[in-house]
Amino acid sequence: MQKENVMSRRKALGGIGAGLASAVLPFPVQSLGQAASASPSLEDPVSKYPKPPFERQSQPWPGLAGKMNPRPDHGEKSYKGSNRLKGRKALITGGDSGMGRAAAIAYAREGADVVINYYPTEEPDAQEVISLLKKEGHKIVGIPGDLREESFCTDLVAKAVQALGGLDIVVNNAARQQTRQSIADLTTEDFDATMKTNIYAPFWIIKAALPHLQPGSAIIATTSEQAYDPSPDLYDYAQTKAATMNYVKSLAKQLGPKGIRVNGVAPGPIWTPLQVSGGATQEKLTQFGKQTPFGRPGQPAELASIYVQLAANDASYANGQIYGASGGAGQP
């Protein structure tokens, strides 16, 4: 009699368990695999973007992204914002193309007002990004000029503050890169132009911007894997990127107590006008990025979220850091 009662209780509990399971699960257990396959698909980073060989192509310095083949992806169609930078005010040098353009698009779609600087001959690229973001209802202002002039850098900051009503993000991204097979081929004029663009300009801009930066502001520099693993044909450029890495770490210690964070982004081989306007030999250009584990160069869009993260309030403990994005090659 007792055994029959035990068996009855087991059957009852089993029935209750089965009922609960069917009540909790919105679909049969055997359909779990089907549901998983219906979720958004993953993106394979190896095949996500074009791979070499690329066609030979050359442009006068500083080059235009709009004339490159293939055209770089700056996130024009892919970047979706979520108000992470709502109300922020950003100045981005080299904002017409490359990582600067990717950052400008991302910042605007994250709710920031943006000023981009660019070299006057880059007007076509600049107008593309300005037109795009204005159509979407974002505030973006373009200020052309030569960063190799101290007076312009000072005026640039003043105009950005006036246009935006303040300033709390400074992205020093613009750079000059020209390949020279030998130091004997590098003229003093070339060397000076690279130093002025890559080292002097950030110094002048930061110095001018500092009185406007309040606690919570962010300064972001674009350095490079060249700071860690320099190419023999980029003698002057590589030096400037090592210096950029060091000014990030030094300035972070100086400004940290004031609540101003300073960080850097170190790209690997990224498909930008730097490469087609004298920054790489034609032989190197056709195979650009092939040496990475992904077998391709990166696209500016793939770094946009790093610039957003370093500017966002939730990265408040990131200071003096260098964030690498090199596809598995280079450092950090």
Q: 72: which DSSP letter?
A: P
DSSP 213: P
The residues near 53 (Cβ < 8 Å, ≥ 6 apart) are: 286, 287
Angle between helices 304-311 and 98-109 (to 10 degrees): 60
- The Cα–Cα gap between 247 and 242 comes to 9
Phi-psi region of 166 (alpha: psi -120 to 50; beta: other; left: phi over 0): left
Structural contact between residues 154 and 75, judged by C-beta atoms closer than 8 angstroms? no
What is the residue whose two structure tokens read 């490359």?
98
- Say if CB 216 and CB 262 are below 8 A apart: no
The answer to whether 200 touches 249, Cβ cutoff 8 Å, is no
Active-site residue set: 237
CA 145 – CA 323 distance, rounded (Å):
28
Which one, of 70, 56, 66, 72, lies nearest residue 284 by Cα? 56
Is the Cβ–Cβ distance between 179 and 280 less than 8 Å? yes
3-state SS record for 36-65: HHCCCCCCCCCCCCCCCCCCCCCCCCCCCH
